[in-house]
Structure 1
Amino acid sequence: MFRRHPHRRPDPGITKDYPLTDDAVLQVDVYDDAERWLVEIALCNEAQIVGRIR
């Protein structure tokens, strides 16, 4: 299900974490130079591996 969440633009050079469900976190980094912005988005999962994937 898609839900919008209020947020503000992260400051350049500072990682902003957005907790999702369970152990998942969305991390957003913003880098800027004179002409453009680079937005890096990473989906992180800190859950421990219980067993082997088959």
Structure 2
Amino acid sequence: MPQATCVQNVTFGSTGATYTAGEKYNVPAALLKSYPEYFKQAANPKSKQAKTAENK
């Protein structure tokens, strides 16, 4: 699950989940897509491939 910061207090009645403004949560991606006005998604760190020595 992606990590996101809640920007406004919200409670989802279907799941009963309560999110508080300013807190970071692991939020299901479907919830982020459905309600982008409530969450600010954290920046994803760029993955770097580890440099390895070639086997000859």
Shorter-chain TM-score bucket reads under 0.3
Tell me the TM-score normalised to structure 1 length: 0.25
Structure with larger Rg: 2
Q: Which has the higher helix share?
A: 2
Q: Which has the higher strand share?
A: 1
Q: Which has the higher contact order (CA 8 A, sep 6+)?
A: 2
